Structure 1
Amino acid sequence: MAEHCKISAAIVAESEERSYAFKIDGYWKAKRLVKNGESVTSPPFCVGGHDWILRYYPKIFDLVTVFLVLDSADAKGVKAKVRFCLLDKDGVRVPSYTFQENVFRGKGSSGGGVGYSIKQEDLERSPHLIDDCFTIRCDVTVMKEFKGKENGQFVVVPSSDLHRHFGDFLKSGDGTDVTFQVDGKTFSAHRSVLAARSPVFKAQLFGAMKESSDDLIMVDDMEADVFTSLLHFIYTDSLPQMTREGDDVVAASHLLVAADRYDVQRLKLICEEKLCSHLDTDTVATSLVLAEQHSCHGLKEACLQFLASPANLEAMKASDGYVHLKSSCPSVLKELIARLLPAELKAAKDIVMAI
């Protein structure tokens, strides 16, 4: 991959924190030649006595992404604060950045995904892509552990239990001020919590057309179990446990629709990721319809790549979801057919897409 793209690094600041500016040279060639999900690696650099590298992914679907990766063979449990930002032509930070504290478990660890992403089209339209190059700055601070005694720390801070408190708050029903009726069942909740987590609930409960506290809000076209899971996520930022894997996949499909309806984006992405990881010939047609109808670009791409296999495509045609796919999303079938045609048949692809 090195012939497609080159990464050079220079120290731009050094104290307890080290800052590196990574110049990524050869954007357009890398975009064209490097496969989706493949990376280019920077030269190693040292911070806090540990070696690190930057992995640059020219395309993860429609994103340009960089990750910080621990590269020391004997390092374990390295705790670091990391910040990424895009630099303009004068070397000044562009406002958006990532700043978080992560534990890098060992060699090859990315600290649970410490990275920076920008949409390809946003980068290409920006003034920061200059002469086929752009620059990412990475600030790394390795945290030193202080232990006063041989037996360990003086103070151990427990993990956050905010989610448990909010979950108990929902279960208790204390202070609820809005009631929903869903599939014949009623649910009580707190307007402020719902509004904080969903812009749709915020508009419904606090906007110009807000419902009064005395109104029973009807939710149509949704099962009670799905609304229960939606409320659980809104209050706890987690999904309820499912008893069987099959139930988990079905629930993810219904929850994805609910998450899109109420614009709960993190829940939508969690459901989308779960469906991507459970694709098979029986579910791919239904998942492809969901992806098209609810603008799930990652799930759609996963389905189309799955169906690029002739055996998977043939088996999908025999599934119950195929008829639904044909009737509800014929444009997706055209896109699939166009993808399957050899590259040299561009005219045929254009004809298929124009039908």
Structure 2
Amino acid sequence: MPTTTHVKTASTCRPPETVQGTHVFDILGYSEHRGIGAHYSIRSGVFDVAGYNWVIFFYPDGYGEEAGGFDFVSAYLRLLSNGCGKVRASCDLRLVNPATGVAASVHPSLVAVRELDPDGDGSKVCHCMCISRGELEGTYLRNDRLTMECVVTVRKEPRVSKTRAFPSIRVPGSNLKRQLAGLLESREGADVAFAVAGETFAAHRLVLAMRSPVFKAELCGPMREVGARPIVIEDMQPDVFRAMLYFIYTDSMDHNDDLGRDYHSKNCDMVRHLLVAADRYAIERLKLTCQSILCSNLDMKNVATTLALADQHHCDRLKQACVEFMCCSNNMEAVVDTQGYKDLATTSPSVLADAMLRMSKVGKKLTKRALGDAPNNKSA
């Protein structure tokens, strides 16, 4: 029996590490930097956060269009490091109120994580302040001195552990079939024997009773035969009884063929005998398996014989398959010429008449010879 191997693996992603640093930038003689131009900037010293070099650009007359006639003051954080790949960082620029000594964020809405890409086409700067000159000079300037605190937070890539395999215990495929076949072959613990055409077979009452209601009644019911003498089985060949026993124990047709394997036409005779035995002992799974095999091997030479067998042993599915096969046949003459068709016309004319009626309903045109060979089917 094929087995499926399932391997379960896992990895763990830890929260991203953040590194935060604060750089205090004091600007003395602030008024001397005013009125120079919108693109004039004051640079802080280079400082390190998380292994990257940063610098603050302060624009006392604003920068570009945002200058608005020198009414605004701007500041930017710039990443100086190169060859470091993409960096995710945020900048919170705070101005120190000289009256209280408390630093407050100028624009909390600008404190957002941004992706900087000094080696590519992405941005290398964070815009971290744009404040009106009146507010800045009225609140944060004293003795011509401006103090700002730049809080830089770098978010590193999350760390993912190496993939590891979960511990597992492999369970081999079931060997129940092999063990039961060995039990049948060894005869160990057998408590009943059968005589079939001169051959003796040993078996276990419990197994037979579990698989066949007929065997259950014969071996365990009030009419059970008790004694050491083998139970005689009439009208069955030893090979057929052996194959039936093997199926009862293993759910397989024989020692070499698993359940559901297609049989060649040379094996269909054995399958027909097994079907009869399965019907006799009410082994429904074996009976249905035989029907499936015979259905898969229908041809123009055996369809009539198979139809008769299906009718005799109440195999409705197989009977229906035979009728449908005959309906689809493109050479009804070949079917009529078979001995099985002639035997069916003689022994079971009603079965053949029913088949003819069904064939006529689906528009099949029967030859005159086909109609003539079936007694009492003129009206069909």
* TM-score, length basis structure 1: 0.54
Q: CA deviation at 1:352?
A: 5.1
Aligned residue for 1:80?
Answer: none
Residue deviations 1:89-143, cap 9 Å, x none?
xxxxxxxxxxxxxx9xxxxxxxxxxxxxxxxxxxxxxxxxxxxxxxxxxxxxxxx
1:155 to 137, 157, 169: 169
Determine the C-alpha separation between the residues in 2 that align with 1:312 and 1:256.
Answer: 28
Determine the C-alpha separation between the residues in 2 that align with 1:338 and 1:218.
Answer: 43
Q: What secondary structure does 2:322 align onto?
A: helix
Determine the C-alpha separation between the residues in 1 that align with 2:199 and 2:315.
Answer: 30
Aligned residue for 1:255?
Answer: 274
Larger Rg belongs to? 2
Q: CA deviation at 1:146?
A: 3.7
Q: What secondary structure does 1:221 align onto?
A: coil
Unaligned runs of 5+ in 1: 1-102, 104-143, 345-350
Counterpart residue identity of residue 271, structure 1? C
Say yes or no: does 1:192 pair with 2:206: yes
Say yes or no: does 1:276 pair with 2:305: no
Aligned residue for 2:179?
Answer: 165
Aligned residue for 1:58?
Answer: none
Aligned residue for 2:251?
Answer: 237
In the TM superposition, 1:100-139 aligns within 5 A as: none
Counterpart residue identity of residue 318, structure 1? D
Question: Does the 8 Å contact 2:265/2:297 carry over to 1?
Answer: no
Quick one: structure 1 residues 305 and 190, their matched pair in 2 at CA, closer, same or farther if it must change by over 3 Å?
A: same
Alignment: residue pair count: 208
Quick one: structure 1 residues 255 and 310, their matched pair in 2 at CA, closer, same or farther if it must change by over 3 Å?
A: closer
Q: CA deviation at 1:246?
A: 2.9
1:314 to 327, 333, 354: 333
Q: What secondary structure does 1:179 align onto?
A: strand
Q: CA deviation at 1:311?
A: 3.2
Question: Does the 8 Å contact 1:147/1:154 carry over to 2?
Answer: no
Q: Which has the higher contact order (CA 8 A, sep 6+)?
A: 2
- The root-mean-square deviation of aligned C-alpha atoms, in Å, is 2.8
Aligned residue for 2:238?
Answer: 224
Q: Percent identity?
A: 43
Say yes or no: does 1:206 pair with 2:220: yes
Q: CA deviation at 1:336?
A: 1.2
Moved more, 312-321 or 183-192: 312-321
Quick one: structure 1 residues 173 and 352, their matched pair in 2 at CA, closer, same or farther if it must change by over 3 Å?
A: same
Determine the C-alpha separation between the residues in 1 that align with 2:252 and 2:167.
Answer: 30
Determine the C-alpha separation between the residues in 2 that align with 1:244 and 1:292.
Answer: 22
Q: CA deviation at 1:245?
A: 2.1
Aligned residue for 2:306?
Answer: 287
Determine the C-alpha separation between the residues in 2 that align with 1:155 and 1:253.
Answer: 45
Counterpart residue identity of residue 253, structure 1? R
Unaligned runs of 5+ in 2: 11-162, 364-375
Determine the C-alpha separation between the residues in 1 that align with 2:272 and 2:177.
Answer: 24
* TM-score, length basis structure 2: 0.50
Question: Does the 8 Å contact 1:181/1:219 carry over to 2?
Answer: yes
Aligned residue for 2:323?
Answer: 304
Determine the C-alpha separation between the residues in 1 that align with 2:166 and 2:350.
Answer: 62
